[in-house]
Structure 1
């Protein structure tokens, strides 16, 4: 009967193997009369077939038994008959590798790591070392230095293993150190390509996203993986418009890309591009319900619609399927907590996220938004100072905006005015930074400088027209009784965005009455990112942490 079992296994008829193996193993006569090697192979065929049929828990039990049987007859030096050469194929290393895969499939990551660690270092194959690294990452130990040795071993045998290169860059190895692991085993042309890739990965994990883009563009071609990396770098650097260009190109090449789809959905969400997000949802989505990406895209779509409870449910479904490395779903969940004013839950999640993805700027934005919303201005400023220290010479416009928010959100006019030099610094860094423009326009209006606000809006719209800015300009001009120019501004806003409520309301008000609109219509921070200004006056010392910074930022 064993020969029939072997025949089924060799023909990859795995469900049939499992059925016949149960017959053999449950029959006492078969078990007592079978040679040791055949009994061992029956367990191996059964365990491997169960794995292929996705019966992981049962496979774990059978493979553990197979390891014990192998150990027993190898210890006894039972002179296993060589009539069954398959015994050598199912070595201890191979069995432990398959058992670790079963543990991985059932999310028993610590057990999987422990199973592989028993294998002597010199006996570990490249696939064992690679699986060890993947398990360490999945277990949330993203920066565990114990993963360096397995990855170095992989590169010595497989020098073009890009996943191993990415892992070493993530763990802080410099390009020269990674190239040293590879040696001289690859051709000069491949080495040049690999050099650009290693350099890009090093810059990505050093949070130098725009320099990384330059390195990636050297090897861009029509490569889906590289296009996704460029799109992600632009997104992490705060340029979602550029990110869309590269991510959509990658999506056109492969509609089944998973990692890129998640980033693309997050980018569409940040740009409020509902129509594009809707095109990614079922039945258009080329993913199934058992993937974390499927649920994240749904979560992002309903969040952008303003349905926060559904967004929380869908993001949690995504996290259930991928709990450790699902950064986008975790960030979205934190955003939902912030929107629904569950600040304690949001802060707890942000602390976890900061350990796993310190490079994501959204984490620090949410920290500041929550602290300012709860009048914890000192803590908000400390978070912003931390960003300045981290970025050093690579300060970005949004870092200045984040610092400005910590002043702008306070009710004291003198403290609020301290946000002005920070916002001006942001616009010096990036003239297209809309967040800075909206905040600065609102600040100028509060200071009574409507002429300055008008000048700033016109300058910005000349560079990059924006419907919200035109609507704000219409409000200002309407208040100043310049109805003709106000109509022009509202019309421009509606032309760019027919659903712009502010412009439509303002235009209707001008048509119905010549009376100036209510003061509340002139506030200039209608954009989504703005915080609600707290009514409680801050303590005087909340300004103290920035005393030395203000001089530097001017």
Structure 2
């Protein structure tokens, strides 16, 4: 019997030594079977099993499973490890100190963090928070505080958030790590004052000298979260031009995003292009470039270059949320809406708070004419990123498609309060008034368009709205001059058609034909342009010139009504691409594809206008 025990003991020692060696060499997949075998031997032979050996074997097994992402298997051993550690502490076992000295990751705080990570990975957020809260505050590392803050900030599985607790945890991270820019963003998102955050950062013990640029960075982020995207882009631009951070990838991404949020798509495109030149593997920048190309209906970025960038995204073996989003945006631009929606859901499974994916989901639902679902999607996005104008614009299009003009009007009122110095909000409100059934309300649309142009005199959607209004109220010399000046800068199809129609009605056929042919050079299949040419030819044959003003709201069978502004009434199957887009870029996909993106109302929004409504 004694000899048998000696043999068993030697086998246990050999197994333990091998399991330890495998763990030390980080061969975690090999540790799991070896440690499990040893654990079984120790359970079946209680004569030679000791508490410290069992504890250490369990640690090897749990952490090897954690490293191999076997989260449920790791959690099965967590409670037993906590129990054995308490026993060892009660008996003041010196081996415990030796183990945690040799393996710092075997400490109680780190083991609880890993257990919380396992709970988070399997979707049990409440247990993850509870596990982290069991770590005493004085023993929480910045990593633990950051994880706890994010879990409390983003909410449990029941949808509840603990914002005040999250703020405290984030601040603890800042005190130790003042350069944690993502934490600064999270605090600003939670509504903490920018000056308070700046004071906290500058008084941190580890902040280096000569970090004035960090205060400006915080200021720019605070402006962005306060709906002041133009001011934020100017602050980031000053950082870029006046400091040694010039051409830094992260700074350029922040600047590009602010320009994009402000609707300055051409400038944002230039910034993202420069970022991709510096780092072609920046998948987030590729996705945002795809958004800009789709939103403007034709990106200045060479199509071959974009194809090359998409090929790089597709060649990746492992997809992140940015990869899924880039593919979803590409499918959206190609008109494959159902499949694009599937890719968006995969992106949101990977990163539930991805702003672009949440907005794209709403646009895809609009394209699929699921307007009620689109409203819900945009409301969800609003809870995550209320400072994004694209969310309110998506709601605006959804309400118009459902003929909910009062809700659209109320939304525009609220948007103007949020984006007080943005031409986008005034233009959107003016567009709502222009579509309103009450003629008195429609007459007030002009002043909002003019106010937009005072803020930004080359803002294309406002120019488009002015052109639409003048089609109804009659053009003035000032408006004609404005349109002629604008098409020199942005010679886009919609504005060229507007000018062609105006010149035709002003009985200037030569100028009208010039603008129509310029439009045909850009879009040879433009139905509105072709119809304008037919009417121009008819007006040459007949006298007086045909006046289409009597056809408003009556001839729904015509492909385009001259007094409508942006598009022709078509059915959902044959809708033509909208010709009026933010920053005057011509839309390249179908009307349904663009309806969730464009500043101006596209074809999809004009289809469901009540019969008694005139523009």
Q: Same fold (TM over 0.5)?
A: yes
1:55 aligns with 2:70: yes
1:2 aligns with 2:4: no
Distance, in Å, in 2 between the alignment partners of 1:307 and 1:481 is 44
1:350 aligns with 2:425: no
Give the 3-state SS of the residue equivalent to 1:431 in structure 2: coil
| Counterpart for residue 371 of structure 1 | 399
**Superposition CA RMSD, Å:** 3.0
Contact 2:220 2:232 in 1 (8 A): yes
Q: Give CA deviations for 1:214-266 in whole Å, capped at 9, x if unaligned.
A: 33234331211111111111111121221112122222222333443443332
Question: For residues 320 and 165 of structure 1, do their structure 2 counterparts lie closer, same or farther at Cα, with a shift above 3 Å needed?
Answer: closer
The CA deviation at 1:384 is 1.4
Question: For residues 184 and 112 of structure 1, do their structure 2 counterparts lie closer, same or farther at Cα, with a shift above 3 Å needed?
Answer: closer
Distance, in Å, in 2 between the alignment partners of 1:518 and 1:56 is 73
Distance, in Å, in 1 between the alignment partners of 2:461 and 2:162 is 33
Distance, in Å, in 2 between the alignment partners of 1:464 and 1:89 is 60
The CA deviation at 1:453 is 5.4
Give the 3-state SS of the residue equivalent to 2:205 in structure 1: coil
The CA deviation at 1:478 is 4.3
1:148 aligns with 2:167: yes
| Counterpart for residue 547 of structure 1 | none
| Counterpart for residue 610 of structure 2 | 535
Contact 1:227 1:246 in 2 (8 A): yes
1:300 aligns with 2:315: no
Contact 2:513 2:533 in 1 (8 A): no
Distance, in Å, in 2 between the alignment partners of 1:143 and 1:241 is 40
Q: Give CA deviations for 1:260-296 in whole Å, capped at 9, x if unaligned.
A: 3443332222112373654443455464564222222
Q: Give CA deviations for 1:493-518 in whole Å, capped at 9, x if unaligned.
A: 344x2556247635874898766899
| Counterpart for residue 511 of structure 2 | 485
1:245 aligns with 2:270: yes
The CA deviation at 1:197 is 1.8
Contact 2:229 2:259 in 1 (8 A): yes
| Counterpart for residue 524 of structure 1 | 565
Distance, in Å, in 2 between the alignment partners of 1:456 and 1:499 is 25
| Counterpart for residue 591 of structure 2 | none
Distance, in Å, in 1 between the alignment partners of 2:265 and 2:472 is 30
Question: For residues 178 and 83 of structure 1, do their structure 2 counterparts lie closer, same or farther at Cα, with a shift above 3 Å needed?
Answer: closer
| Counterpart for residue 470 of structure 1 | 496
| Counterpart for residue 92 of structure 1 | 108
Q: 1:260 aligns with which of 285, 293, 299?
A: 285
Q: 2:193 aligns with which of 157, 171, 174?
A: 174
The CA deviation at 1:67 is 2.4
Distance, in Å, in 2 between the alignment partners of 1:421 and 1:347 is 29
Question: For residues 32 and 353 of structure 1, do their structure 2 counterparts lie closer, same or farther at Cα, with a shift above 3 Å needed?
Answer: farther
Contact 1:99 1:112 in 2 (8 A): yes
Structural mapping, 1:339-418, within 5 Å: 339-391=367-419, 394-418=420-444
The CA deviation at 1:93 is 0.4
Give the 3-state SS of the residue equivalent to 1:341 in structure 2: coil
Distance, in Å, in 2 between the alignment partners of 1:108 and 1:153 is 24
1:13 aligns with 2:39: no
More displaced 10-residue stretch of structure 1: 210-219 or 2-11: 210-219
Distance, in Å, in 1 between the alignment partners of 2:58 and 2:565 is 71
The CA deviation at 1:458 is 0.7
Structure having the higher Rg: 2
| Counterpart for residue 577 of structure 2 | none
Structure 1: runs of 5 or more not aligned: 539-554
More displaced 10-residue stretch of structure 1: 88-97 or 502-511: 502-511
More displaced 10-residue stretch of structure 1: 107-116 or 70-79: 70-79
Distance, in Å, in 2 between the alignment partners of 1:207 and 1:412 is 31
Contact 2:229 2:258 in 1 (8 A): yes
Distance, in Å, in 2 between the alignment partners of 1:196 and 1:31 is 65
Question: For residues 494 and 62 of structure 1, do their structure 2 counterparts lie closer, same or farther at Cα, with a shift above 3 Å needed?
Answer: farther
Contact 1:25 1:31 in 2 (8 A): no
The CA deviation at 1:163 is 2.5
The CA deviation at 1:15 is 1.0
The CA deviation at 1:95 is 0.3
Question: For residues 110 and 428 of structure 1, do their structure 2 counterparts lie closer, same or farther at Cα, with a shift above 3 Å needed?
Answer: same
Q: 2:236 aligns with which of 202, 212, 216?
A: 216
Give the 3-state SS of the residue equivalent to 2:491 in structure 1: coil
Q: 1:319 aligns with which of 321, 338, 348?
A: 348
TM-score, normalised to structure 2, is 0.79
Contact 2:176 2:205 in 1 (8 A): no
1:110 aligns with 2:129: no
Distance, in Å, in 2 between the alignment partners of 1:39 and 1:321 is 37
More displaced 10-residue stretch of structure 1: 142-151 or 294-303: 142-151
| Counterpart for residue 179 of structure 2 | 160
Distance, in Å, in 1 between the alignment partners of 2:547 and 2:320 is 50
Distance, in Å, in 1 between the alignment partners of 2:461 and 2:284 is 28
Contact 1:56 1:105 in 2 (8 A): yes
| Counterpart for residue 204 of structure 1 | 224
Question: For residues 310 and 188 of structure 1, do their structure 2 counterparts lie closer, same or farther at Cα, with a shift above 3 Å needed?
Answer: closer
Distance, in Å, in 2 between the alignment partners of 1:447 and 1:395 is 27
Question: For residues 470 and 32 of structure 1, do their structure 2 counterparts lie closer, same or farther at Cα, with a shift above 3 Å needed?
Answer: farther
| Counterpart for residue 22 of structure 1 | 36
Distance, in Å, in 2 between the alignment partners of 1:141 and 1:226 is 33
Distance, in Å, in 1 between the alignment partners of 2:418 and 2:536 is 52
Q: Give CA deviations for 1:419-446 in whole Å, capped at 9, x if unaligned.
A: 1111111111111221122222122112
Question: For residues 524 and 180 of structure 1, do their structure 2 counterparts lie closer, same or farther at Cα, with a shift above 3 Å needed?
Answer: closer
The CA deviation at 1:345 is 1.2
Contact 1:444 1:452 in 2 (8 A): no
1:232 aligns with 2:267: no
Structure 2: runs of 5 or more not aligned: 1-14, 241-245, 549-559, 568-579, 581-593
Distance, in Å, in 1 between the alignment partners of 2:547 and 2:77 is 75
More displaced 10-residue stretch of structure 1: 329-338 or 103-112: 103-112
Distance, in Å, in 1 between the alignment partners of 2:547 and 2:367 is 27
Q: 2:453 aligns with which of 409, 415, 427?
A: 427
Contact 1:454 1:473 in 2 (8 A): yes
Structural mapping, 1:495-506, within 5 Å: 495=521, 497-498=522-523, 501-502=526-527, 505=530
